[in-house]
């Protein structure tokens, strides 16, 4: 089975890094440039996992987490936050909104894959 991941980040460079890192390991990646774009692509991507940045225009990562959790069809999909933010208050806010985990940029490819595998029980 191919694992589908929806990766949401406003940085084209970061989207490219995530796509390369995970795509080269067999994951099917759908990329979105901000939270609104990500939510528009959610149903079509039908992801097993969502990765989202926090600081984005139009809809930030907290909005993404809340919208996914409120979704009728994808409310139980694990959500990993991938961000430069390290503050405990932001981590707590993300956790309370429904985030599954938090990874700080820049990310290590192997650690990201290991976290995804652990979250998905692979």
CATH architecture assignment, domain 4-120: 3-Layer(aba) Sandwich (3.40)
The pLDDT assigned to 22 comes to 96
Token pair in block for residue 118 = 């652990």
Instruction: For residue 107, give Cα distances in angstroms to 1, 11, 14, 24, 104.
Output: 25, 14, 10, 16, 6
**Per-residue pLDDT, 120:** 96
Query: pLDDT tens, 81-110?
Result: 999 988 999 999 999 999 999 999 988 999
Question: Among 77, 80, 91, which Cα is nearest to 22's?
Answer: 80
The pLDDT tens digits for 36-67 are 999 999 999 999 999 999 999 999 999 999 99
What's the pTM? 0.96
Give DSSP secondary structure letters for 16-74. Answer: HHHHHHHHTTT-EEEEESSHHHHHHHHHHH--SEEEE-SS-SSS-HHHHHHHHHH-TTT
Which tens digits make up the pLDDT trace of 1-45? Answer: 899 999 999 999 999 999 999 999 999 999 999 999 999 999 999
């Amino acid at each position: 089975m191919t694992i589908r991941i929806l990766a949401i980040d406003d940085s084209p460079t970061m989207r490219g890094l995530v796509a390369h890192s995970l795509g080269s390991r067999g994951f099917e990646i759908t990329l979105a440039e901000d939270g609104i774009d990500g939510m528009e692509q959610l149903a079509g991507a039908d992801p097993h996992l969502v990765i989202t940045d926090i600081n984005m225009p139009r809809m930030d990562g907290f909005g993404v987490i809340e919208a996914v959790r409120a979704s009728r069809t994808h409310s139980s999909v694990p959500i990993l936050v991938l961000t430069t933010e390290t503050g405990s208050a932001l981590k707590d806010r993300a956790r309370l909104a429904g985030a599954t985990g938090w990874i700080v940029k820049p990310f290590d490819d192997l650690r990201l894959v290991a976290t995804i595998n652990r979250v998905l029980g692979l």
